[in-house]
Structure 1
């Protein structure tokens, strides 16, 4: 588990959206440099759950991480 802000984001991405660590790092870098990143494509109910999980993770870690879902 990483303790830097970037590490917290990567850990959250890798945990909530089962993805290899290297992919989580790339998603985090896209968010950092481009303002957004795609963590996955899911059916609506699963996407809503993932958004809640990210927001809970951010709150628990006192981190200003944001997550939204968009139609494909």
Structure 2
């Protein structure tokens, strides 16, 4: 039984998912940092949209950790 191409001991699709999960966490951290720096300039609608996006990212981290996507 062949799993397909393997890089660094992981199937290529799984490695791609791990890279996307890492990029998602990094983008959420960058958005939170930027929002904190510019918090006085954000309108009410911007705060709601950003809050929902960051809440989704907070929920994503345990889910990705459970599936082993954030493990190097």
Shorter-normalised TM-score: what interval? 0.3 to 0.5
Larger RCO (CA within 8 A; separation ≥ 6):
2
Larger Cα Rg: Structure 1 or Structure 2? 2
Normalising by structure 2, we get a TM-score of: 0.38
